[in-house]
């Protein structure tokens, strides 16, 4: 039996969604989805209110997902203009720099003006409705401004995480044919500089990137960079003389808002496409309900805008709700392990949302750095990105939240746009490590490997049997891949790629990915991506990559490498290959272990048996399972004998 943390009394009384509301509203939302979501859509300002609410089929032969189809709106106007009358002077963004001496508050009025000016600058450079714009930026307000400016003129942004390599950036630019790149001279994290502009320069030498006409550069650190005329333009120079008003482009609810690349189990990263109306309804409503948002809250989500959490719950959700959102440029342990808690005190943060990996890393530093700050302003804590182990949950609750703040463990994905399974803090009792119950309108189910829906308490693969407004609509440029990836495994259902357990109270417990995706410190990576980076090295013949348990990161990366004939393994070569992967993809993808594999375990038809490699990496050599289909069983014994330990 797991421990239950009941809704705190202080929450129960004042919450946005109360105890007796949840069951009633949930039942209503799944009985009449169109009626329910028609009501929720009224929270936005529509240029033309939608009358056709939901038109969805999960049948692979006729797949379509449309919400609010005939509605017309502008996302940026909903995040800015409509707040000006009542909240013009309210702080929209609190920027907290990597350097603790640097912070800045931007009001809704100021943010509106800056976004309009940048939108005008984009138009002046020839960016039109439907054009793609890459944003490769540090966590600075200009990143949010660039996103909102795109939304204002109907351009589609593609934010690429600033930690990605020139090659990764180039691949994403090429896939969606971006016309313009917005970047900064350099980023800074934990006192270390990241050469963003130099990376863009390198990316644009790669094939397939000639669609880029202009690079806009924010002067952030003032570090020396090369500007190439006429391609490169300074942000501050472009902004001079731009008008501070720019009429918002009327967009159809189903017009694209952004593309965000994410890793899958096969091939290159997929361009997940989200559209305007349903996405904004969903992220603003989930943000309000899950975080129990009130007018005077100071909300801080530590995610980078390079990930979906940064899109939905740093920028779009909070701003659509007229909230004050913190943008943090730095890292949890700089200048020291007290940084998060110092920032909470400094800006009187009330709602705090971060990743389990950060909690586990800070937990290692003990309670003293936490106790250095009062954290008196906090009233709610949240987690996202990976399963949180009970020890980390308890520590977050007892030490960070002083036992008074409820925790919302929010399960969702880049594809889902927003939170699908989470406690509502005033309505749903928490159980440590369980994401608890589905949000309104969300219909999860657990299926066995044949796709049969299981009832009651059970374990299996997690699917969603109906749509929600924030669902992705397609893979950019490859609709067939969208259908094949998500709707073919279990016909008529959206397959999440996650395993889950449901307990006797109907609570969901996410057990992790069941496909070849690994979750390293909350960052999603395809094992195939790391493998193709490794085999791109001239000395590597073959590689297989699996996840392995890691105390802080949740999962680490375990790589098996077969060298080309005649190449001798050495520690120097191991280091070289690890460094190679960092450079090819990103430091996130750095292998934790790299084991030489004279050969890999394969079936007689030549398929690598990853299941076996996973067990070896997990140090469970006695649980290899059926090995009778191996072409050469001695291969496995060799690998077990040579397993790496740190």
Contact present, 393 and 408 (Cβ < 8 Å): no
Q: Under 8 Å CB-to-CB from 525, ≥6 apart: which residues?
A: 263, 517, 518, 519, 557, 585, 588, 589
Give burial (CB, 10 Å; 0-12/13-18/19+) of 57: middle
Q: How far is the CB of 520 from ligand WT7 (least distance, A)?
A: 10
Contacts of ligand WT7 in 425-484 (CB under 6 A): 435
Report if residue 524 touches ligand WT7, rule: CB under 6 A. yes
Does residue number 519 form part of the binding site for ligand WT7 (CB under 6 A)?
yes
Choices 6-14, 61-69, 201-209, 495-503; region in contact with ligand WT7 by CB under 6 A: 495-503
Q: Is 582 marked as binding a ligand?
A: yes
Give the rounded distance of the alpha carbon of 620 from its chain centre. 31
* 308 binds ligand WT7, rule: CB under 6 A: yes
Q: Residue 413, annotated ligand binder?
A: yes
Q: What is the helix (H) or strand (E) element at residue 108, kind and residue range?
A: helix 108-124
Residue 324 near ligand WT7 by CB under 6 A: no
From CA 506, how far away is CA 490, in angstroms rounded? 22
> 411 a known binding residue?
yes
Residues 370, 475: Cα–Cα separation, whole Å: 42
Q: Which residues pair with 271 in a beta bridge?
A: 261
Question: CA 146, 149, 153, 156 torsion: positive or negative?
Answer: positive
Answer for which of 22, 67, 328, 411 binds ligand WT7 (CB under 6 A) is 411
Give bridge partners of residue 326 from the DSSP assignment.
Answer: 94, 300
Q: Does 417 bind ligand WT7 (CB under 6 A)?
A: no
Rounded to a whole number of angstroms, the minimum distance from the CB of residue 510 to ligand WT7 is 4
Instruction: Say if residue 333 carries a ligand binding annotation.
Output: yes
CA atoms of 326 and 144, how far apart (whole Å): 11
- For residue 288, the minimal CB distance to ligand WT7 (Å) is 18
Any binding-site annotation on 513? yes
Counting other chains too, the contacts that 19-27 makes at CB distance below 8 Å and 24 or more residues apart are 19/426, 19/427, 21/427, 22/424, 22/427, 22/428, 22/437, 25/440, 26/437, 26/438, 26/440
For position 412 contacting ligand WT7 by CB under 6 A, the verdict is: yes
Q: Is 275 annotated as a binding residue?
A: no
Alpha helices in 592-633 (DSSP H): 610-617
Output 279 or 560, the one with its CB closest to ligand WT7. 279
Q: Which is nearer to ligand WT7, 265 or 627 (CB)?
A: 265
Residue 309 interacting with ligand WT7 (CB under 6 A): yes
To the question of whether residue 389 is assigned a binding role by annotation, the answer is no
Taken as a whole, the chain contains a residue count of 646
Shortest distance in whole angstroms from residue 272 CB to ligand WT7: 8
Provide the minimum distance between the beta carbon of 171 and ligand WT7 in the complex, in angstroms, as a whole number.
17
CB of 32 to ligand WT7, least distance (A): 28
Closest contact distance (angstroms) between CB of 593 and ligand WT7 is 21
471 is in an annotated binding site: no
* Residue among 235 and 353 whose Cβ is closer to ligand WT7: 353
Counting Cα atoms < 13 Å in the Cβ hemisphere of 438 gives: 23
Q: Minimum CB separation from ligand WT7 for residue 283, in Å?
A: 12
Please select the residue that binds ligand WT7; options are 81, 304, 329, 498, rule is CB under 6 A.
498
- Of 78, 414, 430, 485, the one binding ligand WT7 by CB under 6 A: 414
**Residue 387 binds ligand WT7 (CB under 6 A):** yes
Q: Give CA–CA dist 151/119, Å, rounded.
A: 9
Q: Does residue 143 belong to the site contacting ligand WT7 (CB under 6 A)?
A: no
Q: What is the DSSP letter of 646?
A: -
- Range in contact with ligand WT7 (rule: CB under 6 A) among 22-30, 246-254, 342-350, 508-516: 508-516
* Among 62-70, 278-286, 344-352, 512-520, the segment contacting ligand WT7 (CB under 6 A): 512-520
Nearer to ligand WT7, 197 or 311 (CB): 311
Place of tokens 């004939």: 565
Expressed in percent and rounded to 5, the helix, strand and coil fractions of the chain are: 35, 25, 40
Q: How far is Cα 379 from Cα 405, in angstroms, rounded to an integer? A: 5
Could you give the CA distance from residue 16 to residue 502 in angstroms, rounded to a whole number?
Answer: 26
Q: Is 524 annotated as a binding residue?
A: yes
Residue reference for tokens 């959206």: 494
Please state, in angstroms and as integers, the Cα–Cα distance from residue 408 to each residue in 32, 308, 321, 485, 559, following that order: 26, 18, 19, 29, 34
Among 81, 131, 409, 516, binds ligand WT7 (CB under 6 A): 409
Cβ at position 547, least distance to ligand WT7 in Å: 11
Q: In Å, what is the CA distance from 51 to each residue of 46, 196, 277, 511, 556? A: 11, 45, 13, 39, 48
Q: In whole angstroms, how close is the CB of 121 to ligand WT7 at the nearest point?
A: 31
Cβ proximity to ligand WT7: between 114 and 304 the closer is: 304
Residue listed under structure tokens 């020139």: 166
Structure tokens at 339: 């940084």
Q: Count residues contacting ligand WT7 (CB under 6 A)? A: 23
Q: Between 496 and 562, whose beta carbon lies closer to ligand WT7?
A: 496
Q: Contact between 284 and ligand WT7 (CB under 6 A)?
A: no
Nearer to ligand WT7, 326 or 384 (CB): 384
Task: Please state the closest distance from residue 410 (CB atom) to ligand WT7, in A.
Answer: 5
d(CA 97, CA 479): 40
Cα–Cα distance for residue pair 559/600, rounded to 1 Å = 11
Residue 384 binds ligand WT7 (CB under 6 A): yes
Q: Which stretch binds ligand WT7 (CB under 6 A): 231-239, 303-311, 399-407, 609-617?
A: 303-311
* Under rule CB under 6 A, residue 410 binds ligand WT7: yes
Distance, in Å, from the CA atom of 186 to the CA atom of 163, rounded to the nearest integer, reads 11
- 30 in a labelled binding site: no
In the complex with ligand WT7, the residue whose CB is nearer, 103 or 413, is 413
Q: 175 or 304: whose CB is closer to ligand WT7?
A: 304
Residue 351 in contact with residue 324, Cβ under 8 Å? Answer: no
Q: Please classify residue 89 by burial: count the beta carbons closer than 10 Å to its beta carbon, then call 0-12 exposed, 13-18 middle and 19+ buried.
A: exposed
Known binding positions for CoA: 189-192, 309, 333, 582
Binding site for ligand WT7 (CB under 6 A): 262, 307-309, 384-387, 409-414, 435, 496-498, 510, 512-513, 519, 524
Known binding positions for ATP: 385-387, 409-414, 498, 513, 524
Known binding positions: 189-192, 309, 333, 385-387, 409-414, 498, 513, 524, 535, 537, 540, 582
């Amino acid at each position: 039996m797991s421990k239950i943390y009941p809704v705190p009394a202080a929450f129960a009384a004042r919450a946005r969604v109360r105890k007796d509301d949840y069951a009633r509203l949930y039942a209503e939302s799944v009985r009449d989805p169109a009626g329910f979501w028609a009501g929720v859509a009224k929270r936005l300002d529509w240029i033309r209110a939608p009358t056709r609410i939901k038109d969805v089929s999960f049948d692979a032969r006729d797949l379509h997902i449309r919400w609010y189809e005939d509605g017309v709106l502008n996302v940026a106007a909903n995040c800015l203009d409509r707040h000006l009358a009542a909240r013009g002077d309210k702080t929209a963004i609190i920027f907290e720099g990597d350097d603790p001496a640097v912070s800045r508050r931007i009001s809704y009025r100021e943010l509106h003006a800056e976004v309009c000016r940048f939108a005008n600058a984009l138009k002046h450079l020839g960016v039109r409705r439907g054009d793609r714009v890459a944003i490769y930026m540090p966590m600075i307000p200009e990143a949010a401004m660039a996103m909102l400016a795109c939304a204002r003129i109907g351009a589609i942004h593609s934010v690429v995480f600033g930690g990605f390599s020139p090659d990764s950036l180039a691949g994403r630019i090429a896939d969606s044919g971006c016309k313009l790149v917005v970047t900064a001279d350099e980023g800074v994290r934990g006192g270390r500089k990241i050469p963003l502009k130099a990376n863009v320069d390198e990316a644009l030498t790669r094939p397939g990137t000639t669609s880029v006409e202009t690079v806009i550069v924010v002067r952030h650190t003032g570090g020396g960079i090369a500007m190439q005329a006429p391609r490169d333009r300074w942000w501050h120079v472009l902004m001079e003389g731009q008008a501070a008003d720019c009429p918002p482009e009327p967009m159809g609810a189903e017009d694209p808002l952004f593309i965000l690349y994410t890793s899958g189990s096969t091939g290159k990263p997929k361009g997940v496409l989200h559209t305007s109306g349903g996405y904004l309804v969903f992220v603003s409503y989930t943000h309000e309900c899950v975080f129990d948002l009130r007018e005077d809250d100071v909300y801080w989500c530590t995610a980078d805008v390079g990930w979906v959490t940064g899109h939905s719950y740093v920028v779009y959700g909070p701003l659509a709700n007229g909230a004050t959102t913190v943008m943090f440029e730095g890292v949890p342990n700089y200048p020291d392990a007290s940084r998060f808690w110092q920032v909470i005190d400094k800006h009187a943060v009330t709602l705090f949302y971060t990743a389990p990996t950060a909690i586990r890393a800070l937990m290692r530093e003990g309670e003293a750095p936490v106790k250095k700050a009062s954290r008196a302003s906090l009233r709610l804590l949240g987690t996202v990105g990976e399963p949180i182990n009970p020890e980390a949950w308890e520590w977050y609750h007892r030490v960070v939240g002083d036992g008074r703040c409820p925790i919302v463990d929010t399960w969702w994905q880049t594809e889902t746009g927003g939170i699908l399974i989470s406690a509502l803090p005033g309505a749903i009792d928490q159980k440590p490590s369980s994401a608890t119950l589905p949000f309104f309108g969300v219909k999860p189910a657990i299926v066995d490997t044949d796709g049969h829906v299981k009832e009651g308490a059970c374990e299996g693969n997690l699917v969603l049997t109906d749509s929600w407004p924030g669902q992705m609509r397609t893979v950019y440029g490859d609709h067939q891949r969208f259908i094949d990836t998500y709707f073919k495994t279990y016909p008529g259902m959206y397959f999440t790629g996650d395993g889950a357990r449901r307990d006797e109270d109907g609570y969901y417990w996410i057990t992790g990915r069941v496909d070849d995706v690994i979750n390293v410190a909350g960052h999603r990576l395809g094992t195939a991506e790391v493998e193709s980076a490794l085999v791109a090295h001239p000395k590597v013949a073959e590689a297989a990559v699996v996840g392995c348990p890691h105390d802080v990161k949740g999962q680490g990366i375990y790589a098996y490498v077969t060298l080309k004939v005649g190449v001798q393994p050495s520690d120097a070569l191991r280091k070289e290959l690890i460094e190679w992967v960092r450079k090819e993809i990103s430091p996130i993808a750095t292998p934790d272990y790299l084991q030489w594999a004279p050969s890999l375990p394969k079936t007689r038809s030549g398929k690598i048996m990853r299941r076996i490699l996973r067990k070896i990496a997990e140090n469970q050599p006695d649980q290899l399972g059926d090995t009778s289909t191996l072409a050469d069983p001695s291969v496995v014994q060799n690998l077990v004998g040579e397993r790496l330990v740190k």
